[in-house]
């Protein structure tokens, strides 16, 4: 594939809400992805999942987690806190996720999981989410809404190139965590600028 194609998210992923259980079920059982795990991390690995929950085999089959699954925060007090994503990068055993997030399970092999770490943090996707949230007492997002987002998909080779560049910026930002606040902020803004530019596939005006 040359260049890129644009497809609705619904043709790329199946969407499902997570598990809701009483507090008595928590503390033992299988790994459980919490809302804060998704909100605070753009990607997840097996060792990041520390909460446990007791589940039935049917719940595990229905709500299981696999490499490449993308999680989105589903509800919050404000639109700005909804739709933040985290991608599972490990092949993990039995694991389920919480009811305040949406799991997007890939239906194709068009997207690298590592690419998804970055493409749902762009300014364009964030604007889409905040402008399409529903409001009652809280801001909320549905899988149907995410499914309508038009995602630009470059070739796998191009995705890997983008991942390599953005991973370097990410490492630089982390290495500066003990540096001067102004320098950290400048590096973070530079990273966000290049992320949005690399993941923008709008055609140039003729």
Q: Could you tell me which CATH number the domain at 4-154 has?
A: 3.90.220.20
Res 136: pLDDT: 84
Average pLDDT over the chain reads: 89
Domain ranges across the chain: 4-154
State how far the alpha carbon of 53 is from the alpha carbons of 25, 79, 113, in Å: 6, 29, 26
Half-sphere exposure of 140 (CA within 13 A, CB side): 11
What is the dihedral sign for C-alpha 18, 6, 167, 127? negative
Stretch 109-133: mean pLDDT: 95
φ/ψ (deg, to 5) at 144: -60, -40
Q: Are 169 and 190 in contact (CB under 8 A)?
A: yes
Res 199: pLDDT: 75
Res 116: pLDDT: 96
State how far the alpha carbon of 51 is from the alpha carbons of 68, 150, 157, 201, in Å: 20, 34, 36, 39
pLDDT digits (tens, 9 = 90+) for 157-199: 999 999 998 888 777 666 655 555 656 676 667 667 666 767 7
CA distance 1 to 8: 18
Query: How much is the pTM?
Result: 0.85
Stretch 5-31: mean pLDDT: 97
Distance of CA 137 to the CA centre of its chain: 24
Question: Quick one: angle between helices 156-175 and 181-198, nearest 10?
Answer: 170
């Amino acid at each position: 594939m040359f260049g890129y194609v644009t497809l609705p998210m619904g043709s790329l992923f199946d969407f499902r809400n997570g598990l809701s259980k009483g507090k008595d079920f928590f503390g033992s059982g299988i790994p459980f992805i919490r809302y804060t795990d998704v909100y605070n991390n753009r990607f997840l690995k097996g060792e990041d999942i520390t909460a446990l929950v007791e589940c039935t085999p049917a719940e595990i089959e229905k709500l299981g987690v696999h490499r490449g699954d993308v999680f989105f925060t589903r509800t919050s007090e404000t639109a700005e806190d909804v739709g933040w994503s985290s991608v599972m990068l490990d092949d993990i055993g039995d694991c389920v996720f919480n009811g305040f997030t949406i799991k997007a399970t890939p239906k194709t092999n068009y997207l690298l999981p590592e690419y998804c770490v970055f493409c749902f943090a762009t300014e364009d996707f964030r604007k889409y989410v905040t402008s399409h949230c529903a409001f009652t007492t809280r801001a909320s997002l549905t899988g149907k809404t995410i499914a309508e987002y038009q995602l630009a998909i470059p070739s796998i080779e191009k995705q890997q190139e983008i991942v390599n560049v953005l991973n370097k910026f990410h490492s630089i930002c982390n290495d500066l965590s003990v540096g001067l606040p102004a320098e950290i902020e400048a590096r973070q803004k530079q990273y966000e600028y290049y992320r949005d530019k690399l993941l923008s596939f709008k055609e140039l005006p003729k």
